[in-house]
Amino acid sequence: MTDKIEKVLVALGGNALVKAGQRGAVEEQQANLREALAGVVELIRQGQRVLITHGNGPQVGHALLRAEAARGQAYDLPLDCCVAQSQGETGYLIQQCLRNLLHQAGIHHRPVVTLVTQTLVDQADPLMAQPTKPIGPFYTKEQATAMVARGWRMIEDSHRGYRRVVPSPLPLRIVESEVIQRLVEEGAVVIAAGGGGIPVHVTEDGSLTGVEAVVDKDLASSVLAVELGMDLILDLTAVEQVYLHFGTAQAQALDSLTVAEAKRYLAQGHFAPGSMGPKIEAAIRFLERGGRKVIVTEPAKAQEALAGKAGTHVYPDGKKQVR
């Protein structure tokens, strides 16, 4: 880690909270977070300004499941409210866990705060007419037919059943970026843009209103990192490194990448749209707009990656370093 890196956005993937095979119980999430946040504690110890974003796939799915189970007994929850709920719940778990880890490390001067965050999207975005993002639980064919009658778009998902799909428009800006900036500059560790932020759009009279959609967490993190002038994005995900030919006998781990190389590999189809693709797209957007580096690795390797000994490091063109 060089002395020049001063502001770091840590993007926690869904596996940082819920690992494969787990139900996602609060106790499981707390245990996973203690591991995932160890590297964040070290960043704070070094004096870095830290901003945390996180995924919310499992959490918002459970919120939708509860809403369906309570239909007719409790008020319905639109998707934007489910995202807001998951921001509060997950933010609380991260906030409490990090505060406890800082306390145990003897670091008592860095407050940790969660901010419920809205992300501006465009209702005219072509992606709004292409619901492709699966959310929530699996349904039988008969249940799916009933959901379609209610106006939902449903797809058959990986032979496991039917799921609701919603649009995933591009994030334009983070509504609360100014107050997030102030908190970060004051030394607070801010948890924001959870689940990509609550998607909202501006009405004709200038008001904000929620949108039945979800925003990609990595793309929203990139937008926020640019708005706040962050130096580094540390993207903690399910794998130690980015791979070419992932999942095949020809799999090749990448220690480092330039933006040009990332664009070429992305165009060649090496990075799947539902997993590594958005992370690479987000890295490109961040680095082309002034960011200095993106590191992609798994939570257990965070400290090694920050020391340059693990992970995949993505650089602006002409700035690549070889380990």
Q: Residue 83 phi/psi, 5° resolution?
A: -65, -40
Helix (H, G, I), strand (E, B), or coil: what is residue 209? strand
Helix residue spans in the chain (DSSP H): 26-36, 38-45, 57-69, 79-104, 141-149, 177-185, 217-228, 259-267, 276-288, 302-306
Q: Yes or no: say if 244 and 265 are a contact pair by the CB < 8 Å rule.
A: yes
Among 55, 57, 133, 196, the one annotated catalytic = 133
Catalytic residue check, 14:
yes
Residue 287, token pair as written in the block: 């680095």
Which residue's structure tokens are 């020049």?
A: 4
Q: Residue 14 phi/psi, 5° resolution?
A: -60, -30
d(CA 269, CA 4): 34
Among 13, 14, 194, 291, the one annotated catalytic = 14
Catalytic residue check, 15:
yes
Contacts of 146 (CB under 8 A, 6+ apart): none
Contacts of 8 (CB under 8 A, 6+ apart): 43, 48, 49, 50, 51, 230, 231, 232, 233, 234
CA nearest neighbour of 118 among 201, 8, 204 = 201
CA nearest neighbour of 233 among 255, 246, 217, 245 = 217
Among 13, 39, 217, 301, the one annotated catalytic = 217
Catalytic residue check, 279:
yes
Among 279, 291, 293, 311, the one annotated catalytic = 279
Chain center to CA of 199: 14
Sign of the torsion angle spanned by Cα atoms 194, 303, 25, 276: positive
CA nearest neighbour of 129 among 174, 165, 173 = 165
Catalytic residue list: 14-15, 133, 217, 279
